[in-house]
Every structure is written in C-alpha cells, then in structure tokens.
Amino acid sequence: MENFPLLTTVLLAPVSAALLLCFVSSKSVQSVRVICAAAMTVALALTVYAFFSYDMSVGGMQFVEDVPWIRDLGVHYALGVDGISLPMLLLTELIGLAAVFSSWGITERPKEFYILLMILIAGVTGTFIARDLFIFLLCYEVVVIPIYIMVIIWGSTKRVSKEYAGMKLTIYLLMGSAFMLVGVVALYLTAFPEGARTFDMQALAAAAAGGCFSEEFQIFAFFLLLLGFGSLLSMFPFHSWSPDGYAGAPTAVSMIHAGVLKKIGGYGLIRLGLLVLPLGAKFWAPLIAALAIINVMYAAYIALAQHDLKYVIGYSSVSHMGYVLLGFAALNVVSVSGAVANMVAHGVMSALFFAMIGYVYERTHMRSVRELRGLAHQMPRVATGFMLAGMASLGLPGLIGFMPEFTIFVGSFGVYPVLAVLAISGIIFTALYTLRVLAKVLFGPRDSRFDYFEDARGVAMMPLIILGIALVGFGIFPQLLMGMVGSGTEQLMPLLERITDAPAFLGGVR
Amino acid sequence: MNFAAISTEIFILGMGLFAIVMDLVLPEEESRKSIGGVLIFALSGWFLYMFTLYHGAINPLEPASMAALTDRFFYQGLYLVDNYALFFKQLFILATVFTLLFASDYVQSVLRYRGEFYALLLLALLGMCVLASATDFLTVFLGLELMTISFYVLTGARMGSKDSSEAAVKYLIVGSVSTAVLLYGISLVYGAVGRIQFLEVCRSPHLFFPLGIAGITLVLIGFFFKLSVIPFHMWAPDVYQGAPTPITAMLAMGSKAAGIAAMMRVLFVAFPLLGLYWLPMLAVLCALCMIFGNIMAMRQKDVKRMLAYSSIAQAGYMMVGIVAADADGMKAVMFYAMLYVFANVGAFAALAVVEAQKGDTSHRAVSGLARSAPVLAAVMTISLLSMAGIPPTAGFAGKLYLFTAVVDQGFLWLAFVGFVMSMISVYYYLLVAKAMYLGRWDGSKLEISGAVRAAVVLSVLATVVVGVWPEKLAELTNLAANTFLR
C-alpha cells in the first residue's frame, strides 16, 4: 500500500468514468448511472481510508506524489493532502456520491449530464489535492464550463431564467479568477529568479518565509487573490451570483457548488493567501472581518424575506460563509481551524438541504414556502433530512454545525470582540429564517394536494443516508473533524506569531 | 546556391504545380477530392520529415557549428532556415493539412473551380513559408504578396455569392493599400540606410533619423493591416464572413501567424535598437486589440463574423508576447500560434460542415447542433474555450506563457487587460455553446465524412493534450526561440 497512487486514483475515478461514458449508448441509462455511482464509491472509499490512516502525529503533506510535468515552467504533477485539505477532499467525495444519487431521476440527456458531473467532481477533487499551483488553477477553472452547460440545459427557470443564472454564475467566477490569475503570475515571477521558478506551493511559502516578497507586493498580490477567492466564496459585495446561480442550477450542481466548490475560495485563501502572503493577509484581515459581518447579517436578513426555498438556502450559504471569513480574518490557529471545519460542516448541510429541496421539487414542482406545507405527513423521511440540515445550520449541539461555529467565536472574540458579538447575534437570524421555513414547509395540518407524492425510498434515500451519517457522526464525535483540521492548522502557528506585529488595514480596526 | 536549404519551398511549389496538372488531366466530371488526398498525404509526410531539420544551439567559436550555420542560408544570406523558420513552416503546413482535411467536402459541394482551390492554397502556403524565412525586406515583400494575392482569389472563390465577391474586392483594395504603405515604408528605410538586409539595417546609425523612424512606422502599419490589428482591422470581418469557410480558417491561423513570424523577425533583427519607439506603440495596440476585438465580438449574430472579431483579439494576445521582446515572449507567441491552429481547425471544420449543409453560419444555423451532430458541437465548444483560455484546453497554458513573459518585463497592466478580457470573451463563446446545446433542433442529422471527423478529433485531441501536458510543444518552441539568430 506504500506506493499506491491513492490520490491519483481518487482524481482519475471520475475522469475515467466520464471517458467510459462516452462509449456507452445513451439509451442504457441505468448503466450510465451505475458507472458513475461505482466510480464515486471507489473515490469515497479511498478517501475515507486516507482520512483514517492519515498520521496526525506526523502531520504535514501525506500520500504525496510528484512527477515533473512542464519543465520550463517548473510545474510538477504534485499531489498530497494535509489536515486542511483532507477534510475538504472527504467532503468532495461525500457530496459527489450523494449528487450522483440525487440525479438518478434525470431523464433528459442523462449521459451528457453524468459526463459533465464527473468532470465537475474531478475538477473540484483536483483543486483540493494539488500541491502545485498550476495544477490547482487548471482544476479550478475546469469546473466553470461544465457548470454553465449543466445550468442552461438541466436548470430550472423560476424567478430568474436559467440562461441568466448560468451566465451570471460563470461570468462572476471567471472575472474573479482573472484577477486571481494576475496575482498568481506576479507571485510566480517574484518568488524566484528565472530558471529556478516553480509553481510548487510549499516552495512559494518557503520563498515568502525567506523574505522574497516585499510587504507592498504581498498587500497588492493578496488583494488580487482576495478578489478571486472572495468572489468564489460569495464575499460581499461579490455574493449576488450565489442565490441566483443556485436557484437556476439543477440539484446536483447546487449541491456541489454550495457544498464544495465555494469552499475552494476559503481553502485558497488559507493555502495561498495565508501561507504564501502572510503580511498581505494580515493587512487586509480587518477589511475581510468587516465584510464577513456584512455577509452574516445582510444575507441572513435577506433570507428572512425569501419565499423560494432555494433562495433561502442560497442566502443562508452566503451568510454562513461570513463565519468562515471571520474565522479566517481573526488569524489565529483556533479561528482558522474553526473556519476550515465550518466549511466542511456547511458543505454537508447545504448539500443535504439542496438534495431534499431537489427531491421535493422533482415530485411536486414547487419550492415556494407559500405553496408547500405539512410535508412531514406525507414525506417523513424527507422531513427528517430537512430537520437535520436545518438544525445543523442553526448550530444545534450534537450535529456537525455546532463545534466549528463555536470554535470560530472562541477564536475571533479576542481579536474582534465587537464583530464577534455581532456575528453571534447573527445566529438568531439564522434560527429565525430556518425555523420559519421548516415550520411552514414541514409542519402544520395535512394538505391533501401532497397525498399522491411518495416519500423518498431506495436510491432517493442515499443522499440522506450518506450526508446524514456525516452530519450526525461528526456532530457526536467532533474530535474526528476538529483533530484532523487542528493537525493541519498547527503548522500555521509559527507563521501567525511572526505576523502579529505587522501593519494592518486602517490600523487594524476592531 | 544551397538548394537543400529551400527544399521545403521547392517541394511545396512542386505540389502546387502538381495540383494544377492533376486538375487538367482529370476528366471534368470526376471529383477533385483525390487531389486533396494526395496533397494531405504528401504534406503530412513532409511535416514529419521536417522534425529532423532542427539544429541545436549554434556556437560561434566552433567551426563545425558555424559550418552548420552557413548551411542554413540561401542566396548570400537573403533567406534563412533556422529553427524559428522551421517551426513556423511546420505550423503552416499543419494548418494546410488540417484545412485540406475538412475542406474537401466543402470544396466539392460549394465551389465551382475546385482544382484551382488546391493549387492556390499551396501557393499561399509557399508565400507563408517564404515569409518565415525572409531576412531582407524584399523577400518579405515577395512572400507577403505571394500569400495575399493567392488569398484575394481564394476569398472570391464562391462564385455567384455576393458576400464572397464583396469580400474579395474589399480584401483586394485594402490589401493593396496596405501593400503600398508597407512598400513605401521599406523605401524610406532603404533611403535612410541604403541596405535592405535585416542584419545590415540593424547596424546602421542612420535608422535613428526621422526618415528611418517614419519608414519603420510605415512598415509596421503595413504589417498591422495584414494582421488586422485595431485600428487597421476594418476589412477583416467582411472578408472573414464572405470568404469560403476553409479560407477563413487559413486567413485566421495561417496568414496571421505568417504575418507575426515576419513581423517578429523584422522587429527583433532589423529594428531591435529602436525598441524604445515601437514597444510602447505595440503595447497600446495589443491592449486595444484585446479590448475592442472582444467587445465587438459580443454583438455578432454570425459565428464566422464573431470569429473574425475574436481573431482580432487573438492577434492582440499574440502581440503581447512580442511586447515582452525576449526569448520567453517569442516562445510564448509560437506556442500560442500553434495552439490557435488547433482551436481554429476545430471551430471552422464544424462551421464548414454546417455551412455546406445548411447554407448559413448564423447562430440560428448552429442551433441544435448538439443533437444534429453531437461530435461537432463538442468540438466547437472545446475549440472556442481554447480560444478563451479555459483549462484543460491549450489556450490556458498558452495565455499563461504569454502573460508570464510580459509581466516579467514589467507590463503588469497588459496582463490585467489580457486576463480580464479573455474572461469576458467567454461570454460570447458561450453564446454559441448555448445556441448549440439549447437552441431549437429541427430534427435533421448532419452528415460528417471521415476526413472531417479525423480533422476535428485530431485537433481536439491536440488541444486537450497540449492543455494538460504542454511539455513537448514547449520544448520545441523553446528550441526555436532560444536559437533564434540575430
């Protein structure tokens, strides 16, 4: 097992499924689905194995692979996972498998749908396991176009048309990435003299530690990265693609997008922003913290007024990303651990939410809070899913959402006391809109209009089971998640201590 | 007279004459596809042979290496076959082979004079090859005219089509004006310096006098016309739209690359000392190309016309590498020119099939293509994304090379313009994808011949392989750029 290229296999499982599907007749729908499910099961199983066999006492990058790829650019096909990326990888494979099962009912051009879905999952997987910046960017941008095509073909038109939603999503993300690319190019060129240049992230971080980047440069480059990763993380004011995009997208895309793709933004900020440009991160942290609070409060406030279930969850995800940003901006080990863990937690619960909404919408063609009511009578299992996701979303102890949020508050209170208090009060809003929606949709008198609709069973139960296990499992045993994340964020300790006295935006407003 | 040095040109000329003779020999009613077949076979064979012609680094201190260098010159140094020229010649031959592959059906069903099409295409190819090797102004002029005059005729080859005739006339007039400008510029430079060979022009101090500067400006403007650089681009959209689709493809990938090849040699060999003058001008013009080429492409309803504007933007991207003005920049330009060939073949091959069978290239004509010809729709999407620079297609690696080269020289703002505009360009490329995947399908199926299928599959394969693993192409372009002889 020593030399087995585990991460390559995880990456190639969906890719090979996509290639295989090209040769399967588009009429044999069942084999198409089964191939995808099998590929994702393999990927998930290997990831789970990696998760439990990762040696936390050693820490650092494990399961590493390294092949020289493009010599004149200094690109290596270098993979590896540490305590920060492994939970994200696990999240990706969990949601990937769940998304395959939630798309079981797709009848329009299923083969093309699954091919695009596999490419999408492969792209997301690649970003989390890449140790090389070039491979990271490659995988990151791969995902954009399949999403566009999936939204315009299999999406749904409600408040905004699916064409509009798809284009908005695509252009926002691509514009963000344009700025990010400039930042990355500048980073690549500044780090080393010609001939010694490399895209290896660890080498870049080492260059930063060696003082290759001046403070002005770090501030400038981090700002560019912030534009890119911030818009991906739906940071205010670049958040408006998120609710529209999720509303237009088909279930699987909403799940993957809200669940993991968005988290690439947070992951990138930590992996690239914090590790390579620590002084830049320190400088912009107060601004990020302020925007984070706007995210939390403003998005939660809007979510209160939404009637479309997908919009509620869309805005709620914007709001939750505010906590992640706050945890990042506090720049200490505890808060950053909280941010990473919260990304995982939010990923699982939003994916579950979207899976349940997708199931209901597929059956009833309704997703407005005004129309749906009393579903717990006809669909008790779906209602369970909704309740699990909802309770996790408002941070009920015993579910996945509690520990990460708590950690963020603990970590950020010392740095931004006022903002942290404001963020905590945001939980009240969260509780308000979540409970309002759940109460209306699930409970109340039985409505005979829904008597003809079946509850989830068989394959349709799979997303609920997969995500539910993660939701409850990590809730009851938070150490599984927090320990792993902690082993990853410990490496930040010397770095964070070094920058405590560095200058910050507006003198570090509190 | 070292005729071995110009074996490629002799071979191409021979194949061109062969096409004329074949056309005369074959009976009137017989298909001319066989000519295309022979040409494809011969040219691709020669393409492979050319890999053996590359030379290693040349060391002036070693006599053997210098002897190898003199082997590369023809006619007292007027003509040079270095790695740089070889690379571009391979690119032109590859572009022609691909064009022939997907053009044969189109030629058979749309054009009236078929044999002439092949002969003229080969002559245009010959002109391009001359351009890549030219080391003096008159040879440049010769190559340029051979190429453009062949293209004037080919542009008007759709007899009976108003668009095509209009395009040909327009191209002829604007092309002649630009030729005149170029020639005037050359005469001014000659007047100032008294030499026409690049290496001798470069050494002359007289170049810095106003006469020389004016000459350089006019020479560059002549090239800008040929490359359809904004603000000298007004002929491009009409010509691209009116010309037969395979010719549009050749104009976009061949003629443009040939212009770039000649321009780089002129700038880097004849005028390197005047970089102070032409660098800022070039930087501004390539930013203009990237901005307005992309913005104007957004409003187009016709895919061919859209590709014309997008090719203006692409010329802008390639010029970014020239602005970098070093080996890295040159290498990036060559890399990009090659991947642009692959992307163009994919897009235009699909369009040629659509045009031949539906008689139109508007968004309406391609709507529902994902159902009437799924392969073509996928190929078109991937090729367009490569032009936009989205991974895993080659365009991403190409743009990364271009912009790292130019940022390394301190032009960070160009990288901003370039990346932002290329992301904006995704918008109009995706509009085509939307029409193909979401547009109404009239229930018909398009027929795709084996040759077209081969062309599109090969080009897409190349696009994706180069995108994910650019190593081999990068090595080749590195070799060509680093052994560039000044």
Structure tokens at B284: 């501004």
- What 3-state DSSP class applies to A414? coil
Contacts of A223 in chain B (CB under 8 A): none
CA distance A202 to B231: 45
Residue with tokens 């062969």: B18
Contacts of A175 in chain B (CB under 8 A): 420, 423-424
Q: What pLDDT does residue A508 have?
A: 59
Report CB contact under 8 Å: B415, A182. yes
Q: What pLDDT does residue B297 have?
A: 92
The string of pLDDT tens digits covering residues B396-422 is 999 999 999 999 888 999 999 999 999
Instruction: Tally the residues of chain B.
Output: 486
- The one-letter amino acid code at A175 reads M
Among candidate residues B445, B434, B428, the one with its CA nearest the CA of residue B375: B445
DSSP run (H or E) holding B70? helix B63-70
Mutation for A interface: B400, B438, B460, most A CBs within 10 A: B400
Residue A58 CB partners (closer than 8 Å, separation 6+): none
Residue with tokens 């080919």: B154
Report CB contact under 8 Å: A167, B391. no
The string of pLDDT tens digits covering residues B356-375 is 888 888 888 888 888 888 88
Report CB contact under 8 Å: A141, B420. no
Q: What pLDDT does residue B293 have?
A: 92
Structure tokens at A339: 């941010």
DSSP summary character for residue B243? S
CA distance B201 to A16: 57
The alpha-carbon gap from B288 to the nearest alpha carbon of chain A, in Å, equals 18
Q: What pLDDT does residue A243 have?
A: 87
Are A226 and A273 contacting, i.e. CB atoms less than 8 angstroms apart? yes
Report CB contact under 8 Å: B474, A73. yes
CA distance A486 to A480: 10
Residue with tokens 């681009």: B233
**Given CB atoms, is B461 within the 8 Å cutoff of chain A?**
no
Is the peptide bond prior to B231 cis by the omega test (within 30 degrees of 0)?
A: yes
Among candidate residues A394, A309, A379, A312, the one with its CA nearest the CA of residue A349: A394
What's the distance, CA A356 to chain centroid?
18
DSSP summary character for residue B100? H
Q: How far, in Å, are A356, A446, A449, A455, A496 from residue A364 at the CA level?
A: 12, 15, 9, 12, 51
Q: What pLDDT does residue B315 have?
A: 93
Mean pLDDT of chain B: 89
Does the structure show a pLDDT above 70 at B341?
yes
What is the full per-residue pLDDT of chain A (510 aa) written as tens digits? 567 888 999 999 999 999 999 888 888 888 899 999 999 999 999 999 999 988 888 878 888 888 888 888 888 899 999 889 999 999 999 999 999 999 888 888 888 899 999 999 999 999 999 999 999 998 988 888 889 989 988 888 877 888 888 888 888 888 888 999 999 999 898 888 887 888 888 888 888 888 888 888 989 999 999 999 999 888 888 888 888 888 888 888 999 998 899 999 999 999 888 888 888 888 998 899 999 999 999 998 898 888 888 899 999 999 999 999 999 998 888 999 999 999 999 999 999 999 999 888 888 888 888 888 888 888 888 899 999 999 988 888 888 888 898 899 988 888 888 888 888 888 888 888 899 888 888 888 888 887 888 887 788 888 889 999 999 999 899 888 888 888 888 888 888 888 777 777 766 555
DSSP run (H or E) holding B251? none
Contacts of B422 in chain A (CB under 8 A): 178
Size of interface A-B (CB pairs under 8 A): 91
Contacts of B424 in chain A (CB under 8 A): 171, 175
Contacts of A138 in chain B (CB under 8 A): 391-392, 396, 468
Residue B161 CB partners (closer than 8 Å, separation 6+): B242
> Which among A148, A174, A189 has CB closest to B407?
A189
> Which among B408, B434, B478 has CB closest to A163?
B434
What's the distance, CA A243 to chain centroid?
15
**Given CB atoms, is B10 within the 8 Å cutoff of chain A?**
no
Residue with tokens 């690549």: A188
The string of pLDDT tens digits covering residues A231-264 is 988 888 888 888 888 888 888 899 999 889 999 9
Is the peptide bond prior to B391 cis by the omega test (within 30 degrees of 0)?
A: no
The alpha-carbon gap from A463 to the nearest alpha carbon of chain B, in Å, equals 29
Among candidate residues B460, B252, B446, B311, the one with its CA nearest the CA of residue B367: B446
The overall longest dimension of chain B from CA atoms, in Å, is: 70
CA distance A351 to B136: 66
Other CB atoms within a 10 A radius of the CB of residue A388 amount to 24
Q: Give me the interface pTM, i.e. the ipTM.
A: 0.88
- What 3-state DSSP class applies to B302? strand
What's the distance, CA A470 to chain centroid?
15
